[in-house]
Chains A and B, each alone.
Chain A
Amino acid sequence: MTAVVAASLREGAGKTTVLLGLARAAGKSRYVKPLGDHLVYRMKRQWDQDAALMNHALGLGAEPESLTIGFEPSRIRYTHPGGVDEALDAMLMANGDAPLFIEAGRDLAAGASADLDAVSLVQKAGATLLLVLDEDDDRVLDAAAFVARVCAGKAARIGLVVNKVRDTADFRATIAPQIAKMGLALWGVIPHEPALQELCVATIADRLFAKVLAGEGALTHRVRNILVGAMSADAVLRSPVMKREDRLLITSGERDDMLLAALRTDCVGVIATNNTPPAPPVIARFVEADIPLLLARGDTFAVATQVHEIRPLLTENDDEKIEIAASLVAANIDAKAILDQFS
């Protein structure tokens, strides 16, 4: 069996995006994520959001629950008192011998107490380690050197893909040669793509556990700009952010003036904070306009902070972003070099 384990030193580096592009390039392929980290719990079922995405994007036809062993090491240790080897073997062997892409946990150490960390997965699967780094981490060379040292001899091969690079030419000219000196293969440099950093209103509603008071049909709207409405409605209308497209407004629920200003200026959504529902006529206007109006419990600062901290993950419902991601990866990585591992 030949497999690639995608790992990263921190969450949000782009493992799922890179694996999506690679798997698409490989044609028929398999995917598992033994340690989940984006838990979705619905109707008493739990699965990983990335697993659901890959299941959909690659047409795996599996139950998303079957692609993950667990999320919390304590629970995994409890349900697998004898270790996870048996469950992991079954997972890795399932569905034939197509190229297998394994996604590790949020960082190198995640899952180590349950033997589901990236290095353990590489060893158990006899896999190539594909380290995904993002350039935001200005210590990309440190990271590369560290991985080379720690993983030496444990992986059949180690390669790097650097994601979200603002200036790929400069990166290739300055950083890439130093990575090569470390004996690490640089399999791709993926440019920053703003479209992949956008949130949709549904994701925000989901992550805030917000009540949707209006505009359920428009929850897929993308959010490109966010404005916190703490000033007067007149000041909001004059704000340059209000001139930009796809705005989300965050304001206190009792600010009817602000909410009506949002309606006038075609915001893609509004979050009413402080658990204060707007006046019924205002809600009715949002229903008529089919603009999402979310009711969040926290105060405006807390909600704005929460929204700021939401990572723009790819979701199975966002086919447009899936295609952008797949194309972006395919165009900027050396898929052949990686897929040669399977031959």
Chain B
Amino acid sequence: MVDRRGASCRGGRVRRARRVPGPWHRLRVVENADASGAQTGSARFYRGGSRRKSPDAARLRKNGIRHNAPARRRCRRACHEVPVLTAARTSALGALFAPRRVAVVGASADPAKIGHRVVANILYGGYAGEVIPVNPRGGTILDRPVARSIRDVEPGVDMIVVTTPAGTVTSVARECVEARAKNLVVITSGFSEIGRRGEEASLVDIARAGGARVLGPNIFGLYSAPASLNATFGPARVPKGNIAIVSQSGAIGIAMIGKAASENLGLSAIVSVGNKADLTEADLLEHFRSDPTTRAVLLYIEGLRDGERFLSAAAKVAREKPIIVLKSGWSKRGAAAAASHTGSLAGENEVFDALTSQAGILRAETLSDAFRWCAFLSSAPEPREGDGAVIVTNGGGVGVMATDASERHGVRLIDDVAMMHERFDACVPEFGSVRNPVDLTGQAVAADYRHALAAAIDEPKISSVIALFCETAVVVVDELFEIIRESNERARGVKPIVYALFGGHAMEELAARLRHAGVPAYGEVYDAVAALGALVRHARHRETPARPKPPEIDTARIGKIVAKVRRERRTALLSHEAFEVMHAIGVGVPDSALAASLDDALAHARRIGYPVALKIVSRDILHKTDAGGVLLNLDDDRELVDGYETVMHRARRAKPGARIDGVLVTRMAKPGVEVIVGARRDSVYGPVVMFGIGGIYVEVMKDVAFRGLPVTRREAAEMIGEIRGYPLLLGVRGEKRKDIPRVIDTLLRVAALIEACPEVTDVEINPIMVYAEGEGVSSVDARILVAPREKSDEGKTS
């Protein structure tokens, strides 16, 4: 029974009727839904509200397409048989990674076509759900009946893979939406990557209007291990495991499948995002966060569209699972190539590096590194409470190399001499060393290693172990294999251990055998330590404290200033306005006043006290220094009179007709270490803060560090410690240590400003004079830009 609102109740379920667009418009679809409105089953078709067999069932049968009812039964059976499908559908993208029904539009009987390969991979990959090839020619493909149109398919397909030519994709998308598709996986290329942004935007608009999401276009497809679904045109066999790969490049993604197999690495998913018209890495990261199968995520990125969202999602995921990123397009030419490849901006490499690191993402430089890290991080326990790592070696040289590598990759080495003696004296000969690295010497036999590794694994003060083996005459390879496997088992779940085997063919083979057995064994010391370093960084990120409350700033006062600037159709605050904002955020600036005349300037200078600085204030002169509009260290009235005349004269010369608002008279700040603090809304990554050595050579020195927002006090301190000029703040040549806490405070306040005031786009305080500890800082000059006033803002008060 259908009620007037188009819904009926039976057995506690609500049955909603709705009109179906397109050729089915005379039919009504009744969805089985629970009381909350969630769809729970498939749909049935009615004409005029009365229950009746679908009029097209016969036609579908005639065309070789199975009737809906068997399809539904198959689907239910599949869902019943594969409970993991339901479990994997917990996230918003559940239907993408665990679809119950998959259609391939553009399916082909020609084995050379992508449309054929996708169908074949799905069918032969073990997928248990319903597979519907779609091609206007009909017939069968791989013994499956082919629907002539997606309109002929029972609505509610979870995933539709589109492989038709670019020119047809938007019309296909329209039909898919009419068929209530939940996800479109658009393999077809020829969109924004070649400049056809309009068509790509239309595709997304059509899909979103129908409540569907789009993966792609310009991709190789998607593989989901929980669903045994290989909806790609890549290799037919994908090893199952717990690494999820997201690739912006189709070719690299396909190559990664092969590489994973050769590295004995199993995948929980591999997704090609291509042009990222709708679904991006951020959406996928959020899915993998809740996906129980995935233990580590590997991303290949060429460029980002919404870096801010990506970083936010990554920061959350990285607290639970390691994310390893391989980013290309960091060189100028590479960035240009990446932009033309996928139609997205690469962003500045330094900024990407800093911000991804802050989000807990581990950046690998090579594909090999990325795979090694994935394999290690997805299986190794995190370093337990302890004082650091120990290196166990039979060669002094490789021990030194491992020590160097540890410093480079942030692996702290334990330094407890007493403990080391107690633990290792028994297995180290007299001419060896029990200091870290523990040198068993070249005479070490298998038993020595067994004892030393057991001691290292059992010692609670040791957080991780780096075991190095140089090929010697006394080492028997088979024995070594057993010892390493044994020690790896002993360490499993207890503490991370990595192995580096150094030598000839026998050692290389041994390393390969060990890797095949799931042991983190490497042929290079640096590779072993780099993998451990990645794990240490991941663990450190997980311990990063939650963000404390940001410092309080006077947003109302800032809002008034910004509103006035925008009302006057300016995008840059004048010097005195910028100083007022500095007051509002609690950043100290020297005493100053705006003079409208020479008399005013003299009066202000006498009140403030000499020496003073003069700065031209003009809305038409953005760069005061370049117009000669700044004079420093004016010591008396005479110098002030000359200076005033000079800055006014120069300003008029530099920009005839410029509106001059006055001259800012500022107390000269006493000398200190000059630093720069800035913030901006990056077009790729969103709000970013910057710290570095300041002054007039800031662009030349380029000694700066970046972080994304929100930024914690600890991260601000790390930024300061990262720059090359950091020793200047620690005090050099007998100078006192500088007031670093106040610099951190200034950084956090500037971050709070750009976070709290969306109209503020750029802030740059340069220089900030930093004085001795306890004496604070003084912001000598500040430049603040705001977003231009839009026409839509007309009539608003701000």
**Segment at the interface with B among A55-63, A69-77, A168-176, A219-227:** A69-77
Is the Cβ of A78 less than 8 Å from the Cβ of B641? yes
Given contacts A74-B598, A298-B626, contact A44 B699 (CB under 8 A): no
Task: Please give, as numbers and ranges, the residues of chain B lying within 8 Å of A254 by CB-CB distance.
Answer: 332
A10 at the interface (CB under 8 A from B): no
B599 at the interface (CB under 8 A from A): yes
Question: Which of A39, A44, A75, A298 is B598 in contact with, Cβ under 8 Å?
Answer: A75
Q: Return B20 CB to nearest CB of chain A, in Å.
A: 56
Is the Cβ of A39 less than 8 Å from the Cβ of B626? no
Is the Cβ of A46 less than 8 Å from the Cβ of B700? no
Task: Please give, as numbers and ranges, the residues of chain A lying within 8 Å of B700 by CB-CB distance.
Answer: 211, 213, 277, 295
Is the Cβ of A209 less than 8 Å from the Cβ of B626? yes
B429 at the interface (CB under 8 A from A): no
C-beta contact mask, A33-47 vs B, less than 8 Å → 1, else 0? 000000101001010
A239 at the interface (CB under 8 A from B): no
Is the Cβ of B626 less than 8 Å from the Cβ of A44? no
Task: Please give, as numbers and ranges, the residues of chain B lying within 8 Å of A298 by CB-CB distance.
Answer: 623, 626
C-beta contact mask, A254-281 vs B, less than 8 Å → 1, else 0? 1000000000000000000001110000
Task: Please give, as numbers and ranges, the residues of chain A lying within 8 Å of B641 by CB-CB distance.
Answer: 75, 78-79
B337 at the interface (CB under 8 A from A): no
A321 at the interface (CB under 8 A from B): no
Task: Please give, as numbers and ranges, the residues of chain A lying within 8 Å of B412 by CB-CB distance.
Answer: none
Interface residues of A in 75-93 (CB under 8 A from B): 75, 78-79
B584 at the interface (CB under 8 A from A): no
Question: Which of A41, A78, A79, A277 is B699 in contact with, Cβ under 8 Å?
Answer: A277
User: Of all chain B residues, which has the CB nearest A254?
Assistant: B332
Is the Cβ of B649 less than 8 Å from the Cβ of A72? yes
C-beta contact mask, A298-340 vs B, less than 8 Å → 1, else 0? 1000000000000000000000000000000000000000000
How far is A41 from B633 in the complex, measured between Cα atoms in Å?
14
User: Of all chain A residues, which has the CB nearest B645?
Assistant: A75
Q: Return B782 CB to nearest CB of chain A, in Å.
A: 17
Interface size class, chain B: 20 to 34
Task: Please give, as numbers and ranges, the residues of chain A lying within 8 Å of B384 by CB-CB distance.
Answer: none
Task: Please give, as numbers and ranges, the residues of chain B lying within 8 Å of A71 by CB-CB distance.
Answer: 645-646, 649
Is the Cβ of B646 less than 8 Å from the Cβ of A74? no
Question: Which of B625, B631, B644 is A75 in contact with, Cβ under 8 Å?
Answer: B644
Is the Cβ of A275 less than 8 Å from the Cβ of B699? yes
How far is A276 from B702 in the complex, measured between Cα atoms in Å?
10
Task: Please give, as numbers and ranges, the residues of chain A lying within 8 Å of B625 by CB-CB distance.
Answer: 209, 297
A228 at the interface (CB under 8 A from B): no
- Count contacts on A: residues with CB < 8 A to the other chain: 23
A145 at the interface (CB under 8 A from B): no
Q: Return B454 CB to nearest CB of chain A, in Å.
A: 52
Given contacts A44-B639, A74-B598, contact A297 B623 (CB under 8 A): yes
Task: Please give, as numbers and ranges, the residues of chain B lying within 8 Å of A296 by CB-CB distance.
Answer: 626
- Which of A70, A209, A295 counts the most chain B CB atoms within 10 A? A209
Is the Cβ of B631 less than 8 Å from the Cβ of A41? yes
Task: Please give, as numbers and ranges, the residues of chain B lying within 8 Å of A276 by CB-CB distance.
Answer: 699
Task: Please give, as numbers and ranges, the residues of chain A lying within 8 Å of B696 by CB-CB distance.
Answer: 211
Task: Please give, as numbers and ranges, the residues of chain A lying within 8 Å of B626 by CB-CB distance.
Answer: 208-209, 296-298
Interface residues of A, Cβ cutoff 8 Å to B = 39, 41, 44, 46, 70-72, 74-75, 78-79, 208-209, 211, 213, 254, 275-277, 295-298
Given contacts A78-B599, A209-B627, A277-B699, list 13 more A-B pairs with CB under 8 A.
Answer: A39-B650, A41-B646, A44-B639, A44-B642, A46-B642, A46-B645, A70-B645, A71-B646, A71-B649, A74-B597, A75-B598, A75-B644, A208-B626
Interface residues of B, Cβ cutoff 8 Å to A = 332, 597-599, 623, 625-628, 631, 634, 639, 641-646, 648-650, 653, 696, 699-700, 702
A-B contacts, 6 of them at CB < 8 A, read A39-B650, A70-B645, A71-B649, A72-B649, A75-B645, A209-B628
The 9 closest A-B pairs by CB, nearest first: A75-B645, A41-B646, A72-B645, A277-B700, A209-B626, A39-B649, A297-B626, A71-B649, A78-B598
